[in-house]
Amino acid sequence: QVLLQESGPGLVKPSQTLSLTCSVSGVSISSGTYYWSWLRQPAGTTLEWLGRVSSTGGINYRPSLNSRVTVSLDTSKNHFSLDLRSVTAADTAVYYCARYFSGWDSDYFDYWGQGILVTVSS
Amino acid sequence: DIQMTQSPSSLSASVGDRVTITCRASQSISTYLNWYQQKPGKAPKLLIFAASTLQGGVPSRFSGSRSGTDFTITITSLQPEDFATYYCQESYMAPYTFGQGTKLEIK
């Protein structure tokens, strides 16, 4: 059974760095079939993809956040991480980690963490 | 970015009803369209991928279709557990945009 679990601080001060970790069980993040992704959802709105990384070195980021976001893998711990720098109140959201399957003719987010609320406030 | 226009934004229906939700892409995305269900306080759940393929374990009352850049999800014979918010998502290119969501409520 594939399980993902987010962890990290629930409160971050403005201008600081938001850092989250997603622990994965039931599958190795070294598998090249998947991308390991971060998304977020501000209260009452839709979902927004932030970035993804694969064990084969593929990395993509949301263009509007490209200069502030880093996603990285730690295969020894079977987890992956998100760093979002210089946060403002607009970065307050529930953050999700998810597995992204990339196939011949279909790509989708098939497994998700439960989500973690991160509030940016002084 | 590809824009995904989802309608309606909300929908009231009764148990046993048949409902359809539509999503229109701003450009051709082939069949790179997925549907998710989200209940309050929970993560989204993948229902349909590649426009019409049911994810394993999803009841057969859910179905998806495509006509050009228009996509629909249909739920036949609504069950109490189906009342939730539904999102479409394009997986054709980054940033993998989600629709604004359709909140399906009990009438």
- Cβ contact B43–A48 (<8 Å): no
CA-to-CA distance for B33 and A80, rounded, in angstroms?
26
CB atoms within 10 A of CB B103: 14
User: What is the pLDDT at residue A105?
Assistant: 85
A2 vs A105, residue with greater confidence? A2
Question: Is residue A75 pLDDT above 90, yes or no?
Answer: yes
CA-to-CA distance for A87 and A120, rounded, in angstroms?
7
Distance of CA B11 to CAs B18, B83, B105, Å?
12, 10, 6
- Give tens-digit pLDDT for B40-97: 999 999 999 999 999 999 999 999 999 999 999 999 999 999 999 999 999 999 999 9
User: What is the pLDDT at residue A57?
Assistant: 84
| Alpha-carbon distance B91 to nearest alpha carbon in chain A (angstroms) | 6
Cross-strand partners of A68: none
Selected residue of A106, A110, A111, A116 to mutate for chain B interface (largest B Cβ count, 10 A):
A106
Instruction: Report whether B57 contacts B42 (CB < 8 A).
Output: no
- Cβ contact A110–B31 (<8 Å): no
| Alpha-carbon distance A15 to nearest alpha carbon in chain B (angstroms) | 24
User: What is the pLDDT at residue A104?
Assistant: 86
| Alpha-carbon distance B69 to nearest alpha carbon in chain A (angstroms) | 16
User: What is the pLDDT at residue B78?
Assistant: 96
CA-to-CA distance for A110 and A54, rounded, in angstroms?
15
User: What is the pLDDT at residue A27?
Assistant: 94
* DSSP designation for A89: G
Q: Which residues contact B85 (CB under 8 A, 6 or more apart)?
A: B37, B38, B39, B101, B102, B103, B104
